Amino acid sequence: MTVTVLPVATRALLEACGRLGLDAAALAARAGLDRARLDDPDARIPADVADAVWREAAAASRDPALALHAAERTPYGAFRVLDFLGATGPTAGEGLTRVAAYFPLVDPRGTLAVEPGRDAVTLVLRAAAGPVPPPAQEYTLAILAARVRHVAAAPPALAVTFTFPRPAHAAEHARVLGVEPAFGAPEASLAIPRATWDGPTRAADPGLFAALEAHARSLLGRAAAQEDPAARVRAAIAEELNGREPALAPVARRLGTSARTLQRRLREEGTSFAAELDAVRRERAEAFLRAPDVSIAEVSWLLGFAEQSGFTRAFRRWTGVAPTDWRRLGGAGR
């Protein structure tokens, strides 16, 4: 079976190559990548084609530190969902845990394991089969280090390890990463101090998923203005939702009550936790689907569905059409 990846990472790489003065369109063409597929958020690219883009970029640039320089030229927000998840957790660690869970959706060949320790939490980059290629280690860990620094409330003292021997351009690693990494380590990793991991995040970029943020503000505003139990539940569900399915007990704790009491209050309002979760999921699904560079697979994952087929069934129940048709028709449904 051909392994496929989401286009987001390849698109970000080509945009970074353009900022580095390379001809991104020519790189894609030489790699056999159709531009229409790259721009389609719901397409998946054969992994070997995505890898060919890297090879073409390396050959064209003749830059041994291309992966580091591409990461450096990839602004916050280029990885829409990853950057959104990292910035919207109540703590940096919560956001990064969701990033790690999201990681295989982009490229199933790799995982990002979260390994807690007493003084630091380590993100370990692993491949499903064989070693992680050095450029993939450099690019991934440089992107993650930049994102951690972006969202952390205070500048963190990070630690980075690579599995390959110390290269001639190691000074660029220290400059781009902001720390002298260790080479020849057993695994590629990024260690984040406990104080940063457990600490708060800075406010998210207001331009990142603006429609979704407007929806969240609307929920909170309605809850405050109406003192409506159901509105308060919807606002709490929205805060719990990104990348996981909210459960009754955590939402009740967020609202300072018990699960039993919350259920009773919702029954008195003529509704239920399941109905309110369904309503928030529908509103959020429509907000996400209006973002032209977020795939339906990502929307499904963000809404906490175990399988994309489950999301498709739910969306058809809500709107009368499948997500692909709703997006194609510009948000038309029943």
What value does the mean pLDDT of the chain take? 88
Give the model's pLDDT for residue 332: 63
Is 225 a residue whose pLDDT tops 50? Answer: no
Q: Are strands 159-161 and 45-46 parallel, antiparallel or unpaired?
A: unpaired
Of the listed ranges 18-32, 189-203, 235-249, 315-329, the one predicted with least confidence: 235-249
What confidence tens digit (pLDDT) does each residue in 65-98 have? 999 999 999 998 888 888 888 887 778 998 899 8
Largest CA distance in the chain: 69
Q: How confident is the model at residue 158 (pLDDT cuts 50, 70, 90)?
A: very high
Q: Which amino acid is at 268?
A: E
Q: How far is CA 156 from the centre of its chain?
A: 21
* pTM, to two decimals: 0.85
Is 244 a residue whose pLDDT tops 90? Answer: no
Rounded to 10°, the helix 273-289/229-241 angle is 50
Q: Can you give the residue ranges of every domain in the chain?
A: 4-62, 80-197, 210-328
Of the listed ranges 171-180, 233-242, 258-267, 315-324, the one predicted with least confidence: 233-242
Is 39 a residue whose pLDDT tops 90? Answer: no
Residue with tokens 């020519």: 26
Give the model's pLDDT for residue 100: 93
Q: What CA–CA distance (Å, rounded) separates 105 from 281?
A: 20
Percent of the chain with pLDDT over 90: 60
Q: What CA–CA distance (Å, rounded) separates 284 from 242?
A: 10
Q: What CA–CA distance (Å, rounded) separates 290 from 286?
A: 6
Q: What is the mean predicted confidence (pLDDT) over 286-299?
A: 87
CATH number of 210-328: 1.10.10.60
Give the start-end residues of each E strand in the chain: 4-5, 45-46, 110-116, 120-127, 159-161, 188-193
Q: What CA–CA distance (Å, rounded) separates 243 from 265?
A: 27
